[in-house]
Structure 1
Amino acid sequence: MQKFIADTLHRLRDTLTGPHTIAFLPALCLGAYWFGGEHMLILCALVLPALAAVLNLTISTTPKTERATALAKDGLTGLPLPERLVASLDHILDSHAVAGKTTACLALEIDDFHSLQAMFGNTAGDHLLTNVAQRLQDALREDDTIVRLRGPRFAIALAPMRTADLETLIQLSSRIQMALTEPYPLNATKVFITCSIGFCTPNRAPSLSGQAFLDAAETALGDAQHNGPGSIRAYSPAHRRKPAEKSPVSTDVGQALENEGIVPWFQPQISTDTGEVSGMEALARWTHPKHGVLSPAKFMPDITDLGLTERLNEVMLYHALMALRTWDRAGFHIPAVAVNFSSTDLANPKLVDKIRWELDRFELEPCRLNVEILECVISISDCDTISRNICALKEMGCGIDLDDYGTGHASIANIRRFAVDRIKIDRSYVSRCDLDQSQQSMLAAILSMAERLDLQTLAEGVETFGEHAMLAQLGCDHVQGYSVSAPMPLEETQEWMERHKRKLAQTPRIGRRTG
């Protein structure tokens, strides 16, 4: 209502002080003289300017805060602040009885944004959010209000429209998703994203206020996210009757970590030369009693918030080395197991002693453990403890794998400084490499550099046999991905290795690059 009154005052002020009114002021005064004599002439000459002055003073003093809010922008995307969206919704809803038009509110969030940010860095994450904001503006009408709520979450207040029913909002949500699915250039690679959307229509809103519409849209968004990436959900009054459900991972993640609910699953790495298993990567998985198998993206934020990252690393290392010993005793020789170490793990001054003790405990040579380090860690790290730990692990005999290569701008000097043995080429360079000439050229350049630096290479995220074959022909040493096998629990690995051994005996080798 306040916005409606302010707009009315603005329009009245503009009418009284506009160029057309000023041009006809002499005629108005003359007409007043003809019809009312000198007294009406004096009244007209004094009252009109005085009224305009009062309106101008009122507008310039009372709505300062409102105008400042309307002009304030989000520092990253340049979008209005959330208060603008609520005010816009309130204005449309208040004028519905007169204008006969309504509105709706949508809330959307980029799926798994924090994993992308961790992989590519904060600057790249900010760049992605800016591009998303621009695409939303391009996809919607000029009068629609788009704001960034927080992080990767946005909200939209639709400009006045005749109908805002369920079908219309579903179609609009699908159009927004399509606009955001085109690839984004990020750190010299292409990134694909999805987004989940929740919306509130007028006939389902808990009350006719802008804040109620926004809250309902965010509630629907939470329901969409619970149903998986890329979901769309409408707000229903039934949502209010549901008790607030806690995150499936926030309440008992600590207990799961201590009770072996979170353990490594293993994904094979195979040689493109021989086809034999050249290693296994240990990937954290939580088999939740109610929500099934959860990947780290679902529980790592809670692990971090609870300060349990060091404990998770201990659990992963213990079970990975125990798996090696289990395979050895069963007659399967797996050269090495790879375990991921975060920058927090690597900054622990006791890390090297801890790893040495665990290797001795399982009577394993250090070369049986590959320490995986994200490229972004060594590309930006100036921590002396991290540098010392990596060098000490290398001297001890552990392999050093540079993970997600191509996303963190690691220099050749840093690759040498951290004594890297093998680079793991990121999935973004592998995707469709059998069909995309530019992908092949990029891979060829990476592999040529690695060969000259005497580095082993492993391509991760290999999902098709075509990609597998192309990587082998280009000279990549090892591959890992769903074309080989999905990650599996320890108890399934021996059966898989038996099948792989039988298949290897029957399948001709994939040819490698010649010359």
Structure 2
Amino acid sequence: MNVLAHFQQTILEMIARGRSAEEVADSICRHAECAAEGVMCSLILVDRSGRLHPLAGPSLPAHYSAAIDGMAAGPAAGSCGTAAFLRKPIAVTDISTDPRWVDFRALAEPLGIRACWSSPILHSDGRVLGTFAFYYSESRGPSEQEERLVAACVDLCSILLERDEVRAENHKLAYFDVLTKLGNRANFNRTLDAACGAGSGAIGLLFVDVDRLKRVNDTFGHGAGDDMIREVGRRIARSAWPGKAFRVGGDEFAVLIVGESADAEAPLAAERILASMREPALCGAHVLEPGVTCGGATSKAANACDTAKLRRNADLALYHAKEITRGGFVLHGDELASTIAKRFRALQTVTSALAEDRMEAHYQPVVRLDTQEIIGLEALCRIRTRDGEILAAGSFAEAMLDLSIGSLVTDRMLSQVARDVRHWLDQGIALQHVGVNVSMADFQRGDLRERISAAFARHQAPLKHVILEVTESVYMEGSDRKVVRTIEELRAEGLLVALDDFGTGYASLTHLLTFPVDIIKIDKSFVDRMAAGNAGEVIVKALLDMAKGLRIRIVAEGVESDEQSAQLQRLGCSLAQGYLFGRAADRDATTEALLHFGQKPAAPLGGATGSFAA
């Protein structure tokens, strides 16, 4: 085997074994310098913007390579820059007189370089990947032997650089998100593990969730949603340390903070991220305001860092933030840990009650203020402890935030309400309606209509006796029309819909034009502030007048005194519920109340003051 063939085989074996581009390029240059006595050799990369970046030049001083790094290829950019620009070999036999070297002569001549011959390295698709050059200490061009040697070197360089480009692309696909160009989940996992293993001080972790991305996708299209993700990613990256922002899910980002100041820096980074979202963004043809919610956690020392615990704490903080301060930031700490423990206990309480059939429907009466007759009920969830104590919903409200638990509780309540409605109808009680509370979890499952219909069908109870009670927050979260569509379907089957706790959330009166509502239940907070002439009385009166015009019924909640009852009547409110008329009670006690105080069948059920029907 001749020397050239042996050289080619050696380089190809290095490439096949996965040696780095720097190592292989250095070997090519050193072999070429040995084969062509008296020359210096260089291999220069050319990026996609046409700029030069030295990869190997074992005999050239570092300051020479540094001087040409980032230089643009062009028709007067020395031998290498010109060869890359023209995509053909350039042989300059006398640097001192050649105009292409005017700007670089002072760099080359002190090194004894008198001539330079550079050949472009081309990709199989024709793109220029780099240049391979010989530098001479005398004014001359290449010999025939050197031409054969350089031809072989250029072929080897082409194979090397194409392989390296593929490896770089595969690495990018494996570790970087295509949409945002940020590191992906695999990159995040690797970076977090490396930071914990390096013992580099404290570590902070932020999880950032894009608010209501699904609504953007459904309303404006996935193109707008992608633009939103890209813009949010850019803003998060600008707010984070370089290389420490990642896209780890469809609508979730992560930010790492490493160093002794991570404890203090984590909240500051979250503040910067939230502040960066205040400017509107162009998403497709729409100007939208991006919104994010942040949760974070810190580990005091990287060498004692438990990555699983750090992730879990940051995730819990994000989950908590989305529930209590959407658009804000929560940092995991002792207080949050206490809240989580409280929720865990609530979950245990509810799951055991469901398993042991200790969950009950209790009923609070809704009355006509003029006659004090019971015209309807609201079903309220109660748990009977193993000791017989009755727990109100407030004691296990934390558990209801869990979507699966919330749906299970709703199913149990629907079954019991349907059973009790059938019981009362069989006794000849003129029951009008029973309100059943439903949550966003019930709508998100997408089968609420079927679940209600199935529960009432099992007990042969007519659906016309059901009022769905939905809070403002459900309406706000459901503006992607899933809630609206479901409610419209249920109303078509005879159900009524009540907007519960009106005035406690963020719904505006304009929502009453878009959401199907039959009844508004004024929150207790307005009733409590109803002293004559103050704002509470004015608001209640305005709501009553508005509801009358819209043919929507009003029920005042939380009525606890005769004075409040009388004042509501004077303002024109005809229906109310509260401790004044009775606390929530089990089926047997409610049956007695209905027998004694229920609206009699002879009463006009469609009357203006005695019915939920408008």
Instruction: Please report the TM-score for the alignment, with normalisation by the length of structure 1.
Output: 0.55
Query: Counting helix residues as a fraction of each chain, which structure ranks higher?
Result: 1
**Structure 1 residues 131 and 384 mapped into 2: Cα distance closer, same or farther (>3 Å)?**
same
Structure 1 unaligned runs (5+)?
185-189, 318-351, 434-438, 486-496
**CA shift for structure 1 position 197:** 0.8
In structure 2, the residue matched to 1:52 is 157
**CA shift for structure 1 position 475:** 1.8
**Structure 1 residues 285 and 23 mapped into 2: Cα distance closer, same or farther (>3 Å)?**
farther
**Structure 1 residues 293 and 151 mapped into 2: Cα distance closer, same or farther (>3 Å)?**
farther
CA distance in 2, matches of 1:457, 1:424: 4
**Residue pair 1:102, 1:162 contacting (<8 A) in 2 also:** yes
CA RMSD across the alignment: 6.4
Query: Any idea what the Cα deviations from partners look like across 1:379-402, whole Å, max 9, x if unmatched?
Result: 977988966877997857624447
Identity %, equivalent residues? 14
**Structure 1 residues 56 and 95 mapped into 2: Cα distance closer, same or farther (>3 Å)?**
farther
In structure 1, the residue matched to 2:96 is none
2:186 alignment partner AA = E
**Residue pair 2:414, 2:436 contacting (<8 A) in 1 also:** no
**Residue pair 2:183, 2:245 contacting (<8 A) in 1 also:** yes
**CA shift for structure 1 position 89:** 5.7
Residue number among 399, 404, 415 corresponding to 1:301 in the alignment: 404
**Structure 1 residues 502 and 431 mapped into 2: Cα distance closer, same or farther (>3 Å)?**
same
More displaced stretch, 268-277 vs 396-405 = 268-277
| Partner-residue secondary structure (3-state), 1:475 | helix
In structure 2, the residue matched to 1:34 is 138
Residue number among 160, 163, 171 corresponding to 1:66 in the alignment: 171
Say whether 1:398 aligns with 2:465. Answer: yes
**CA shift for structure 1 position 419:** 2.1
CA distance in 1, matches of 2:167, 2:237: 30
Say whether 1:166 aligns with 2:266. Answer: no
After superposition, residues 77-476 of structure 1 pair within 5 angstroms as 81-87=184-190, 105-108=205-208, 133=229, 136-137=232-233, 139-142=235-238, 146-147=245-246, 149=248, 153-157=252-256, 165-177=262-274, 195=293, 197-200=295-298, 204-206=301-303, 216-222=310-316, 229-230=324-325, 232-233=330-331, 247-248=344-345, 251=348, 253-257=350-354, 262-263=359-360, 279-284=376-381, 292-295=395-398, 297-302=400-405, 310-314=411-415, 317=417, 354-355=419-420, 357-359=422-424, 364-370=429-435, 395=462, 398-401=465-468, 403=470, 407=481, 408-410=483-485, 414=489, 417-420=492-495, 422-425=496-499, 439-443=508-512, 445=513, 456-459=518-521, 464=526, 465=536, 468-475=540-547
**CA shift for structure 1 position 171:** 1.7
**Residue pair 2:438, 2:469 contacting (<8 A) in 1 also:** yes
**CA shift for structure 1 position 34:** 1.8
CA distance in 2, matches of 1:45, 1:192: 55
Rg larger in structure:
2
CA distance in 1, matches of 2:374, 2:499: 18
Instruction: Please report the TM-score for the alignment, with normalisation by the length of structure 2.
Output: 0.48
Query: Any idea what the Cα deviations from partners look like across 1:179-224, whole Å, max 9, x if unmatched?
Result: 679999xxxxx999984512346x633568xxx7686244344367
**Residue pair 1:135, 1:179 contacting (<8 A) in 2 also:** no
**Residue pair 1:105, 1:200 contacting (<8 A) in 2 also:** yes
CA distance in 2, matches of 1:366, 1:38: 105
CA distance in 1, matches of 2:151, 2:455: 84
**Residue pair 2:196, 2:307 contacting (<8 A) in 1 also:** no
CA distance in 1, matches of 2:501, 2:450: 30
CA distance in 2, matches of 1:356, 1:398: 8
More displaced stretch, 34-43 vs 216-225 = 34-43
**Residue pair 2:376, 2:431 contacting (<8 A) in 1 also:** no
Aligned residue pairs total 415
**Residue pair 2:344, 2:399 contacting (<8 A) in 1 also:** no
1:509 alignment partner AA = R
**CA shift for structure 1 position 356:** 5.2
CA distance in 2, matches of 1:149, 1:102: 22
Query: Any idea what the Cα deviations from partners look like across 1:245-297, whole Å, max 9, x if unmatched?
Result: 994355554322356765557788688999998755334366989x9532453
Structure 2 unaligned runs (5+)?
1-19, 26-42, 47-52, 56-71, 84-89, 92-114, 118-133, 282-287, 384-389, 527-535, 574-614
CA distance in 2, matches of 1:78, 1:38: 44
